[in-house]
Amino acid sequence: MKPINMKSLPIKQTRNKYNAVKTKVDGITFDSKKEAHYYEELKFLQSRGFIQYFHRQVIFDLPGGTTYRCDFQVFYTDGKVRYVDVKGRRTKAYIRNKKQVEALYPVEIVER
């Protein structure tokens, strides 16, 4: 019998319309297993000294009173800053909002 990784278990087997399973790690609920796994990867890189720190759910204000929420903002030890969105599926709304953020702010959002 395989041991269970208690660190990242799905909190329930409900799936959203994109078939993603909400997952809880370190008391934080993530929208998908993929996003939770990337969080664990960032923590590992931070423990090895590649990353100074990172933020989750960074909000960008957009015209019309809407906002765009980027999954991670990562600060590397060499001074670089990277914005990362963990996506399983690229929707039309996501593509439109990503382009709008990149046009309004001096950032590039990479997909993971």
Domain boundaries, the chain: 9-111
pLDDT in tens, 20-43: 889 999 999 999 999 999 999 999
CA distances in angstroms from 88 to 35, 44, 108, listed in the order given: 9, 22, 19
Q: What CATH number labels 9-111?
A: 3.40.1350.10
| Closest by Cα among 88, 91, 112 to 40 | 112
Torsion, Cα 53 58 61 65, to 10 degrees, reads -160
With cut-offs at 50, 70 and 90, classify the pLDDT of residue 104.
very high
Residue 16 has pLDDT above 70, yes or no: no
